[in-house]
Amino acid sequence: MDRFNLVRESFMKKARPVDTPEGRPSEYFGELTFDRNKMQKYLDAKTFYALLECIEGGKPLDRKTADGVAKGMKEWALEHHVTHVTHWFQPLTEGTAEKHDSLIDYDGQGGVIETFDGKALAQQEPDASSFPSGGLRATFEARGYTAWDPTSPVFIQDDTLCIPTVFISYTGEALDYKTPLKKALKAVTDAALPICRLFDPSVGKVFSYLGWEQEYFLVDEGLFAARTDLMITGRTLFGHNSSKDQQLDDHYFGAIPSRVAAFMRDLEIAGHKLGIPIKTRHNEVAPNQFELAPIYGETNLANDQNQLLMNLMHTLARKHGFVVLLHEKPFEGVNGSGKHNNWSLGTDTGTPLLAPGKDALGNLQFITFFVNVLAAVQKHNALLKASIASATNAHRLGANEAPPAIVSAFLGRTMTQVLRKLLEVPSDTPIEIAGKKGSRMGLVEIPEIFIDNTDRNRTSPFAFTGNRFEFRAVGSSANCAGAMTTLNAAVAEQLLDFKAAVDQELATGKSLQVAVMDTLKPIIASVIDTICFDGNGYTDEWKAEAARRGLDTEACVPEMFKAFLTPSSLEMFARTGVYSEKELEARNEVKWETYAKKVQIEARVMVRMAINHIIPAAIAYKASLLKEVSLYDEVYDDTDGCATELAILDDITRYVEEVRQRARQVEDARVEADAIEDAYERARAFADIANMLFALRKPIDALEEVVDDKLWPLPKYRELLFIS
């Protein structure tokens, strides 16, 4: 089917009817998860309480209890016609992995029965050498283990019981995202708890919370299939901008197209059944770009839900004739997609630690955690940037819709003034912070509104938004665990240092207020003019200012990854028990290798498309123009009347030759880079090739504007972005 028929077909597609289940979402929410209600129903009391102690208190499950849990799970699963079971884990591929095993086993009488016991629930042995490991596992060292994570509910997808697990090597190193995340969460809760008890001795536990905002694009599956670059790399490697894209800001929060709304409803229903509390949906800024977000949740569970949801999005989009694009920059010239990670801490008493309190003591606690988070971000700003860096996110960071590749923190005018004031007053001064000021707009129809004591700054990668920090630099396709592991570990280290310093102050007989403030003031003085920045992060002046402040301004992704191996990073991860030096070295090998391979694939695709698609189309148009000029000359014995055709021929000849030369340069550089053995050096070589791809793109985009539209072989931006 040619491009024009594909476009026509995409416009004719109608929204599929949504198979909405009967009842309200609250009635089928969590229907396919083995949550506490299911535990109570399918487990005996002793097994149920033993499992709760494991989930809430971290106590290990004995084999008898595990068998009891497996028995109840099997009963529930069979009622949902489950035939297989899998350990669902998150290897270093950025995605998820699963190996399905049937529940059947011989019954000893020539037939089979369904079996599932505690051993199958608790552990499996996937081939660890077949996943990225950075050298931790070789082909002849294949053994690895997946182990059940009871804090994340088991769920059902289609006919399979899915058990969230960690993934470790035979020698104990983490081979996944979940294992270090859980260690980081334990580190930050353990470090925060003693500080909380200074203010409220009744606090029993501290929680790390995550609320992610998932941005994505939808394109028609027929047009997607006609773009080799989209299919293989997830982004358009070339394509001239549409005459109209997002410049009118008319797509943002606009009416959701019916076909897209049908997909969204299906996604929400499926998500709710799996216990994912999807709350928000809307059009984003770029055409065919959208966003969804859930209710806040504990970080480990929220991260699992995001991974599960991304898989659901791909599956359900196809049913509606769409393909989901999670690449951070699938289209040049319009906004890319991020996954803003809203992060906070709270206690089991219901107290948010990053929001002003109800009294002076509560405000002192808030300032304590607020300032220590800033100190952690200041100390490890390069590391936090490295945690969100990738070959794909590099295309998004620094553009006009995304924060720059410099980590700073936005506080807003009110909180900046509060910190400066705290440096001026005596340490025993009670802290009073106005929460929200009531304001009336003078219109009867509009109810009373509230003005937050913080603004928003889209140029800030780490912004305080009232009761949480929003880590805006995380990429759309990323596993949130990468950024959340680093952030929680960095904050844990800072809290440990802070508690030790406060204890020394308290030992001198100072009051809690004075001891805390005397410890905080030097930290405030350090962060306020270093990591805190409320201005425009897009300007060249800020880049220069950031460098003067000592912030990391590195823009090359392979270089960014080196931040994981600096002495301060190695010490922080070792002290918090999150990563060993061996694990960090291995993960950096994986990061460099992944970066190189992604750019390598793009280079291969782009060169082949340039040679097999673009140049033939241009030559075909050139041939038709030459034929026209030749006929004109034959009739009139003159080519003066073909000035336009001749000018276009000159342009095509020049652009085609530039494409050919640049494609050859890219191919030669790729072959040379492929031969480099050292992972870092190879990644650096491919970073140079990534810049060469931009140069190759320019003449191809110029040809798209010159070549006859009927001859252009690929769907254009105006077709890809305006089909819904």
CA distance 184 to 387: 14
What 8-state DSSP symbol labels residue 95?
S
Alpha helices in 475-560 (DSSP H): 480-506, 512-528, 540-549, 557-560
Residues 6+ apart with CB under 8 A from 321: 10, 13, 16, 220, 221, 222, 259
What sign does the dihedral 556-559-561-563 (CA atoms) show?
Answer: negative
Q: What is residue 153's three-state secondary structure?
A: coil
Helix, strand, coil share (%) of the chain residues, nearest 5: 50, 15, 35
Scanning the structure block, which residue is given the tokens 């990225």? 132
Residue tagged 């035939």 (tokens): 83
383 sits in which H/E element = helix 381-388
Q: What is the model's pLDDT at position 540?
A: 84
Which residues are CB-contacts of 158 (< 8 A; sequence separation ≥ 6)?
none
Give the number of other Cβ atoms within 10 Å of residue 543's Cβ. 18
Cα torsion 174, 232, 669, 561 to 10°: value is: -30
At residue 99, the 3 state secondary structure works out as coil
Dihedrals φ, ψ of 107, to 5°? -95, 0
CB atoms within 10 A of CB 425: 12
Number of neighbours of residue 16 by Cβ within 10 angstroms: 13
In residues, how long is the chain? 724
> In this predicted structure, what is the pLDDT of residue 249?
82
**In which residue are the tokens 């140029």 written?**
459
Q: Centre a 10 Å sphere on the Cβ of residue 99 and count the other Cβ atoms it contains.
A: 15
pLDDT number for residue 317:
96
Q: Average pLDDT for consecutive 10-residue bins of the chain (724 residues)?
A: 68 69 87 96 95 88 92 96 96 92 89 91 82 71 84 96 93 93 98 98 97 97 96 96 88 90 96 96 94 96 98 96 96 94 97 91 95 98 96 81 82 88 90 58 40 60 92 95 98 98 97 97 96 88 93 94 98 98 96 97 98 97 94 85 93 97 98 97 98 97 96 95 79
Element (H, E) at 102: strand 100-102
Which tens digits make up the pLDDT trace of 522-549? Answer: 999 999 999 999 888 888 899 899 999 9
Rounded to two decimals, the pTM is: 0.94
- Identify the pLDDT of residue 402: 63
- Residue 637 phi/psi, 5-degree rounding, is 55, 40
Determine which helix (DSSP H) or strand (DSSP E) holds 698, and give its type and residue range.
helix 679-706
What is the residue whose two structure tokens read 């802290």?
A: 431
Nearest to 560, CA basis, from 392, 328, 383: 383
